Amino acid sequence: MIKLTVNGTMYERAVEPRMLLADFLRHELGLTGTHVGCEQGVCGACTVILNGDSVRSCLCFAVQVDGGRIETVESLGTVDNLDPLQAAFQEHHALQCGFCTPGMLMTGVDLLRKYPLATDQEIREGLSGNLCRCTGYENVVKAIRSAVEAGYGD
Amino acid sequence: MEIDARPKMIGARVQRLEDPRLLAGQGRFIDDLNLPRMLHIAFVRSDHAHARILEIDSADAAAKPGVAAIFTAPDIAGLWNPIRATSRMADYHATELPVLAHDKVRYVGEAVVAVVAENRYLAEDAAEQIMVSYEPLGDAIDAIANAKADAPLLHDDAGTNVLAARTFHRGDVDAALAEASVRVSGNFRMHRKTPTAMENRGYVADYDPGRRALTLHSTTQIPGIVRDALVEMLDIPGNRLRVVAPDVGGGFGGKGALYPEEVLVCIIARQLGRPVKWLSDRLEDLMTTNQAFDEHVAAELACDGEGHILGLRAEVIGDVGAYSVYPWTAAIEPVQVVSFLPGPYRVPNYLGRVRAVATSKTPTGAYRGVGRPISTFVMERLMDMAAAKLSLDPLEMRRRNMVQADEFPYKTASGIVWDRAGFMECLDKVASSYESLRRDQTAARAQGRWVGIGLASYAELTGLGSRIAVAPGMPVNTGTETATVRIDSTGAVSAYFGIASQGQGLETTLAQVVAEELGVRVEDVDVIQGDSAAVAHGTGTYASRSTVLAGGAAINAARAVREHVIKAAAHIFEADEGDVDAADGQVFVKGTDRGMSFRELARAVYSEMGRLPKDIRENIELEATRMYDPYFGTTTPASHLAVVEVDPETYQVTVQNYVVAEDCGRVINPLIVDGQVHGGVAQGIGAALMEEVVHDGAGQIQTASLMDYVVPTAAEIPAMQVHHLETVLPDNPGGFRGMGEGGTIGAPAAIANAITDALAPMGIDINELPITPERLFRLIDGK
C-alpha cells in the first residue's frame, strides 16, 4: 500500500512492487498525459516533477515514491484555460505530434522555477534530456524564452 | 460588409487547433486506448539474423498465470491470406510479408511467437519461458557480398538477393566522360538510419463477433492502404473493416507501411473474440520499424573547362534488409537514389544503375526524404569536388549548371519533369550572406579555427499525381485524394479526408483551406482524418503529398458546397446569387445589412419544413465530395547553407549557422511550414553527424537503445533561418507544393560539404555519413 499526492490529490493504492511510476500514473490513475517513449530513461517523454525535481517516471517504481508529491502535465492548464507555458508552446508552434510535449513542459517548468535561463544555450542544455523528433527544438527554445521573459516560475 | 473584408486564412500564422488537447495531456494516443476485456501481446523475437527454426517449446509459458493463448506461424496458418508487395517493374522479386516467422528467420527481431495475456507484464513473463532452437544458415548481412551470384539466398523463391534492379540512361556517358576536361569521382556511403518517432508503433484490434466487424486502431500513416490490404488478408468486406489512426506521435515514413504486428492483432482478436493490444517498446522499435538510407554509391561527374556538366555515371547498391515492404516494395528508396541523382542541374548524359539487395537485417522502407538525402549528398559532393578541381567557387559552380527559369518544364536525365519553380531564386536567397560568411571564415582560419561553409541545392517531386506512382510499378493508386465537406443541420462544418496526420498540423492547415473557401472561421471547421471510414478512398500521409492532394480536394469540395450555400441564401434573401457572399460564418447580401449565420441557413435548409420550395430544396446539397489529382505532381526546390566548426582536439562538429530557402508555392500557414523545415533539418543533421544503425558481423543490432542510436538533442541543433519563395503554380487549385521532407534532403549534403570545406587545407573529402568524431579522426589521422 502506497500513499502519495498527485497534482494536489492524495491517493492510497495497493501496487505490485514492479509497477513503474509511469504505468501507475497512466493505468492506475488514468493520467495518460504522461507518455512513455523508451522506458530506458533517455527520451524524457515521461518526465514528471517529484518533490520539486524533474524525474523520469519510467525509471521509478511506484513504491519508491511512497509519501511523495508528484506533478504531471495535468497539473498545468486545461484545454480551455492553458497555463502560460502551454500557451507559449502553442503561440510559438513548439509542438508537432505532441508526444514528447508533456515531458518538455514538465522539464520546462522545472527549469523555469530553478534557473535564470539567461541565454538560449542554457535553455538548450536544460532541454537536452528531452528528445523531440519533430520540431528541431528551435520553437521549444523560443517558447521557453518567452516564458522566461514573462516571469513564469518567479 | 464588403468582399475585401473577407479575412484571408490561407497564409495566416494560425495557431494550431490540435494544440490545446496535446498541451493539456488530453491527446488520445494508441496507448491511451484501453478497451474492456482487452488482452496484451508480447513477442518472442528472433535472436538470430539468418537461421532455420527447429523447435519452439512453449509448454511452460502456456501454464503461466494470465496467459490466454500462444500463437506460432503454424497456429495462424489458414486464419489469413498472405500478401506480397507486388510491382509491374521488370527485374523485381516480391517477398512474403511474414506475420510470424515460419521455417526461417531473416533478421534479428523478427517476430516468432506471440504470447497473449491479461496484461503486458504477464505476457512478458510468459514469453521469457519460451525456448526456440535455431540452426544458423550463415551470415548474409553484407549487401555487396549478397549481390554476388554465389551468395547464400535469403529468399529461395526469389532465386536472387537482388530484389530489384533498374537503369536510367540518357545520351552517351562514355563519350562525355572521354572528352571532359575535368572528372571527379568517389565511393560514397550513407549508413543505415531508423526513423525514431518518439511514440513507438502500436495497434489495438477490436472484433465485434455480432456484426462480424473489425476495427483496427493503428499508429499508421496509411489507414486506407492498411484497410484495403486487411480486406484481402482477412476476407472481411471493407464496410465492416475500419482502420483508425488516433493521435499519432510522429511517423516520418516509419509508420507508413503495413506491419506484421498490425495484421496479427487482427487475426488474434477475431480468433479469441476479445480486443487485443500490442505496443512496441523502444528496443522492438529499433529492431523492427522499417529502416532506411543504407546506400553504397560509386559515382563520377564530368565537366568541361568552365564547369558545365557533361556527364554523370553512378552505380548504386541499396541494402534493403530482409523483406520487400508492403506496399512500397524494396525498390522505393534505392530507385529514388538513381532517379533523383542529377538533381536540379542540366545533365546531358547520364547512366545510373541501381540494385536493391536483400540482407538479413531489418527491412527498409520510407524514411523522410526517401533516397534523396543520399542522391543530394552524392551529387552535391561531386559538384564541390569538381569546383575545387576547377578552382571555381561552389556557388558559381551551381549557378552555371542549375536549370534556368526559361527552361521549365525541364525533363531530367532520368525522366522526371520539373515544373516552373524558384530553383535559382532559392540559391540566390541563401547566397545573400555568402560573401560575408566567407570573410568571417577567412578571419577564423587565420586564428587556426577549422570553419567551413557548405551549400546544397536540390529539387524534389512532391504531391505526386496519378501519372507517377510513389513507388515504381506499385498497384496502389497514390495519385488522388478525396475530401468531403459537409454542413450538418446545426450549421457545423465537418471536412473528411483520407490523409492521416502524425504531427504535421493537417487538422489546422486543411481547416484553413476549407474555412477560406467556404466563408467560415477556422475554428468552425472540424477536420476528420486518420480514419479509413472518412472517405471511400484515400491512402494517407506520406511522400509530401497531404497539403497538395488533400488541400486541392478540400478546395474543390468546399467550392462546391459554397455554391449551394449561396444558392439557398439567394432564395431566402430573394437576391441574385451574384450579390450573396459568405464570410466569417455569415451569409449575407453584399452592401446590405441582410445576413444570417451558417446555423440559421442550415436550419432553413434542413429543418424548417416549407422554407424552401420542393424544387429548390431537392437541389440544395450542403455536402460535396471531390477529388484532386495533380497528375505529374509538384516541384519543390530548395537550397541549404551550413556553417560548421570542427574542434581540432575532439573532432566534434558544431553546426553554427543554418540557412534554408525553399519554394513550396503558396504557404498556408508559415508557422507550420517553418516547423516542418526545422524538424527536417534536425533529422538531416542527425543523419550527417550521429545517427547510424550498427550491426555486428553476425547481424546483431548494436544500437538497441536511444543511448546507442543517437538522435540530436536541443544542444546539437542550431537556430535556423528559413526563407520561403512562393512561385505561382498554374493549373493547381491551391498553388501548394509539398514540403514535409525537404529539410532532411538538403542537410546531410550541406554539412558534408561544410566539413570538407573546413578541412580543405588537409585535402579531406567527407564521402561517408554519419561523419562521427571517430570517422573524422581516422580520416585526419590517415593523412
Mean pLDDT value of segment A118-137: 98
Is B684 in the A-facing interface, judged by CB distances under 8 Å? no
> Does A154 reside within a domain?
no
* Strand B182-190 with B768-769, pairing: parallel
Listed residue (B544, B484, B546) closest to B509, CA to CA: B546
Q: Tell me, yes or no, whether A140 lies in a domain.
A: yes
* Cα angle, residue B119 at apex, residues B117 and B122 outer, rounded to 5°: 70
Q: How many CB atoms lie within 10 A of CB B269?
A: 27
Q: Test A32 with B25 for CB contact under 8 angstroms.
A: yes
Question: What pLDDT does B783 receive?
Answer: 84
Under an 8 A CB cutoff, do A93 and B671 touch?
A: yes
Instruction: Summarize pLDDT for B631-667 with one digit per residue, the tens.
Output: 999 999 999 999 999 999 999 999 999 999 999 999 9
Are A46 and A97 part of one and the same domain? no
φ, ψ of residue A87 to 5 degrees: the values are -65, -40
**pLDDT at residue B405 is higher than 60:** yes
Q: Which of A74, A95, A110 is the last residue of a domain?
A: A74
pLDDT of the residue at B5 = 47
Looking at the fold, whether A17 and A70 belong to one and the same domain comes out as yes
pLDDT at B1 over 50: no
Distance CA A118, CA B715 (A): 15
Check A90 against B247: CB less than 8 A apart. Answer: no
Q: What are the grid coordinates assigned to B575, written together? A: 437576391
> Three cell numbers at B408?
521549365
Whether residue A140 sits in one domain with residue A91: yes
Helices (H), B273-339: 282-288, 332-339
Residues from chain A that touch B194, judged by Cβ atoms under 8 A, are: none
Of A21, A42, A74, the domain-final residue? A74
Phi first, then psi, for residue B475 (nearest 5°) are -85, 10
CB count within 10 Å of CB B694 equals 13
Distance CA A102, CA A86 (A): 10
β pairing state of B586-589 and B595-597: antiparallel
CA B491/CA B608 separation, integer angstroms: 13
Distance CA B45, CA B61 (A): 15
For residue A92, the domain's CATH number is: 1.10.150.120
B206 CB near a chain A CB, below 8 Å? no
Residues of B in contact with A77 (CB under 8 A): 23-24
Separation between Cα atoms, residue A128 and residue B57, nearest integer Å: 45
Per residue in B714-726, pLDDT (tens digit) is 999 999 999 999 9
User: Do residues B498 and B481 lie in contact, with contact meaning Cβ atoms separated by under 8 Å?
Assistant: yes
Query: Mutate which of A18, A85, A99 to disrupt the B interface (most B C-beta within 10 Å)?
Result: A99
Q: Does residue B634 contact residue B733 with C-beta atoms inside 8 Å?
A: no
Please report, to the nearest 10 degrees, the dihedral formed by the alpha carbons of residues B326, B329, B330, B335 taken in order.
-150
Domain presence at residue A79: no
Q: Is B678 on the interface with A (CB under 8 A)?
A: yes
- The rounded distance, in Å, linking the Cα atoms of B349 and B301 is 10
Q: Which of B23, B705, B713 sits opposite A101 (nearest CB)?
A: B23
Percent of chain B predicted with pLDDT > 90: 96
| Residue pLDDT, tens place only, B254-286 | 999 999 999 999 999 999 999 999 999 999 999
Q: Do residue B679 and residue A99 have CB atoms under 8 angstroms apart?
A: no
Mutation target for B interface from A78, A86, A138, A145: give the one with most B CBs within 10 A. A138
Q: Which residues of B533-544 are buried (b: 16+ CB within 10 A; e: fewer)?
A: bbbeebbbbbbb
Interface check B247 vs A, CB under 8 A: yes
Answer whether B407 touches A (CB < 8 Å).
Answer: no
Residue A24 is given by DSSP the state I
Instruction: Mark which residues 498-517 of B lie under 8 Å from A by CB.
Output: 502-505
| Mean predicted confidence (pLDDT) in B326-342 | 97
Co-location of A13 and A50 in the same domain: yes
Whole-angstrom Cα distance, residue B221 to residue B228?
14
Are B264 and B116 a contacting pair, CB within 8 Å? Answer: no
Q: How far apart are CA B490 and CA B624, in angstroms?
A: 17
Burial (0-12, 13-18, 19+ Cβ within 10 Å), B737: buried
| CB within 8 Å of chain A, chain B residues 444-483 | none
Q: Which of A33, A100, A131 minimises the CB distance to B25?
A: A33
Q: Could you tell me what percent of chain B has a pLDDT over 70?
A: 99
Smallest Cα distance from A25 to chain B, Å: 12
* Grid coordinates given for B348: 546531358
Q: pLDDT band for B6, please (50, 70, 90 cuts).
A: low
For residues B267 and B73, the answer to whether their CB atoms sit within 8 Å is no
User: Taking CB atoms and an 8 Å limit, are A133 and B711 in contact across chains?
Assistant: yes
Given an 8 Å threshold on Cβ–Cβ distance, is A95 in contact with B681?
Answer: no
Q: Find the domain containing A40 and state its range.
A: 2-74
Question: Tell me, what's the pLDDT at B474?
Answer: 87
Q: What integer pLDDT is reported at residue A154 of this predicted model?
A: 81
Question: Can you read off the three cell numbers belonging to residue B481?
Answer: 485524394
Q: Is the peptide bond before B327 cis (omega within 30 degrees of 0)?
A: yes
Cis peptide bond upstream of B260, omega within 30: no
Q: Which of residues 15-54 of A touch B (CB under 8 A)?
A: 16, 18, 26-27, 31-40, 42-43, 45
Out of A11, A39, A74, a domain closes at: A74
B406, pLDDT greater than 50: yes
**Rounded to the nearest 5°, which phi and psi values hold at A123?**
-65, -45
The predicted pLDDT at position B36 comes to 97
Interval B488-535: pLDDT, tens: 999 999 999 999 999 999 999 999 999 999 999 999 999 999 999 999
Q: Is ipTM over 0.95?
A: yes
With CA atoms as reference, report the closest residue to B27 among A24, A31, A59. Answer: A31
B391: left (phi over 0), alpha (psi -120 to 50) or beta: left
Residue B4's pLDDT band, with cuts at 50, 70 and 90, is very low
Show which of residues 74-103 on chain A sit within 8 Å of chain B, judged by CB atoms. Answer: 74, 76-80, 82, 86, 89-91, 93, 95-102
8 Å CB contact of A97 and B197 = yes
Q: Are B545 and B462 in contact (CB under 8 A)?
A: yes
Listed in sequence order, the residues at least 6 apart from A149 whose beta carbon sits closer than 8 Å to its beta carbon are none
How does DSSP assign B181-243, residue by residue? SEEEEEEEEE--B----SSPPEEEEEEETTTTEEEEEE--S-HHHHHHHHHHHHT--GGGEEE
Sign of the dihedral through C-alpha B746, B752, B753, B758: positive
Cross-strand partners of B29: B247
Q: How far is B504 from chain A (nearest CA, A)?
A: 6
CA-angle at B628, arms to B623 and B631, nearest 5°: 170
* pLDDT of amino acid B2: 41
Whether residues A8 and A70 fall in one domain = yes
- Residue contact A123–B714, C-beta within 8 A: yes
Return the closest-CA partner of residue B317 out of B344, B335, B340, B339: B335
**Confidence check: pLDDT of B7 > 80:** no
Q: What is the DSSP annotation of B389-401? A: HHT--HHHHHHHH
Nearest to B632 by CA among B399, B408, B428, B482: B408
Q: How many CB atoms lie within 10 A of CB B157?
A: 9
Contact A133 B250 (CB under 8 A): yes
For the segment B456-463, the average pLDDT, to the nearest whole number, is 97
- Whether the CB-CB separation of A69 and A8 falls below 8 Å is answered with no
B193 near B291, Cβ under 8 Å? yes
Amino acid symbol at B56: I
- Rounded to the nearest 10 degrees, the angle between the axes of helix A101-114 and helix A84-91 is 120
Contact A74 B683 (CB under 8 A): no
Burial class for A117, CB neighbours closer than 10 Å (0-12, 13-18, 19+): buried
What is the tens place of the pLDDT at every residue in B409-432?
Answer: 999 999 999 999 999 999 999 999
At B375, phi and psi to the nearest 5? -60, -40
B595-622 pLDDT tens trace = 999 999 999 999 999 899 999 999 999 9
Q: In angstroms, rounded to a whole number, what is the distance separating the alpha carbons of residues B482 and B478?
A: 11
CA distance B736 to A87: 29
pLDDT tens-digit readout, B713-772: 999 999 999 999 999 888 889 999 999 999 999 999 999 999 999 999 999 999 999 999
**Amino acid identity, residue B263?**
V
A60 and A88 co-located in one domain:
no
Q: Is A119 in the same domain as A60?
A: no
Q: Check: CB of residue A76 under 8 Å from CB of residue A31.
A: no
Question: What SS3 class is residue B265?
Answer: helix
Whether residues A13 and A70 fall in one domain = yes
CB nearest A79 (choices: B21, B32, B711): B21
What does the DSSP 8-state code read for residue B593? S
Q: Are residues A105 and A133 in the same domain?
A: yes
Return the bridge partners of B187, or none.
Answer: B298
Fold assignment, B295-467+631-781: Aldehyde Oxidoreductase; domain 4 (3.30.365)
Per the CB < 8 A criterion, the answer to whether B418 and B362 are in contact is no
Would you identify the CATH topology of the domain B480-628? Aldehyde Oxidoreductase; domain 4 (3.30.365)
> Which residue of chain B comes nearest to A80, CA vs CA?
B20
Whether B166 contacts B354, CB under 8 Å: yes
Contacts of B402 (CB under 8 A, 6+ apart): B344, B345, B346, B423, B424, B427, B457
Domain B38-138+201-279 and domain B295-467+631-781 have a common topology: no
> Which positions ≥6 away from B286 have C-beta within 8 Å?
B194, B196, B693, B701, B703, B704, B705, B706, B709
**Per CATH, the architecture of B38-138+201-279 is what?**
Alpha-Beta Complex (3.90)
Residue of B2, B4, B19, B24 whose CA lies nearest to B522:
B19
A108-112, B86-90, B731-735 — most confident range: A108-112
Cβ-contact A94, B503 below 8 angstroms? no
Residues A92 and A57 in one domain: no
Report whether B275 contacts B269 (CB < 8 A): yes
The residue extents of the domains of chain B are 38-138+201-279, 295-467+631-781, 480-628
Partner-chain residue, chosen from A98, A125, A129, that has the shortest CB–CB distance to B27: A98
- C-alpha cell at position B477: 493508386
Length of chain B, please?
Answer: 783
Across the range A117-122, mean pLDDT stands at 97
How much is the mean pLDDT over chain B?
96
Domain count, chain A: 2
